Amino acid sequence: MTKITKTLFILICLTGLLFAQEKTTALKNAPSFTLNDVSGKVVILDSLVKKGPVIMSFWALWCKMCIKELDALKPYYPELESLGASYLAISQDKSRSIPEVKPFAAGHKWKYQVVLDPENKLRKSYNVQVMPSLFIIDQNKKIVFTHQGYKPGDEKKIMEKVRELSGKCKACEGNK
């Protein structure tokens, strides 16, 4: 890896940290996709949204802030399941790195469904510019929340949005 390439990777990760931000308004319909997870299982967005909200986090092995985000959300996984939400960790690693993705996720004890996007087709269709980038898609297949970058505490905002979608948001009860 050249010095310029390493510098670019560092800048991308720092940009994600410095400019972590979210949008809570409905943006647009989520582009459909069919991809494989690290076990070879086919993952289809249209099937997942029928069960409940879908959280998609774009990450890569080289992205330290992506890994921190996924680790920070790990304790919430049982609650996500109980709310009917699906969580997809979408690997942006290239084909040569794919053999490392499954053992890496297992080593971190992620229970998320780790999906492979080695050609970055999904990343392009969702216009992902910063990593990590997270999307929450509702059962109408609308993107209702986006979050770019990561800083500690962001996982709480993400969980509140999922709870709100499921009707289990404690902070939202006073607003009804």
Separation CA 114–CA 71 (nearest Å): 13
Cα 29 vs. chain centroid, distance in angstroms?
Answer: 17
Q: Which domains, ranges and CATH numbers included, belong to the chain?
A: 3-166 (3.40.30.10)
Cβ contacts of 29 within 8 Å, gap of 6 or more: 141, 142, 143
- pLDDT tens-digit series, residues 46-83: 999 999 999 999 999 999 999 999 999 999 999 999 99
- pLDDT tens-digit series, residues 8-42: 444 454 444 444 444 444 448 999 999 999 999 99
Is the bond into 132 cis (omega within 30 degrees of 0)? yes
Alpha helix (H) residue ranges in the chain = 3-18, 45-49, 64-73, 77-82, 98-107, 121-125, 154-166
Q: What is the pTM of this model?
A: 0.80
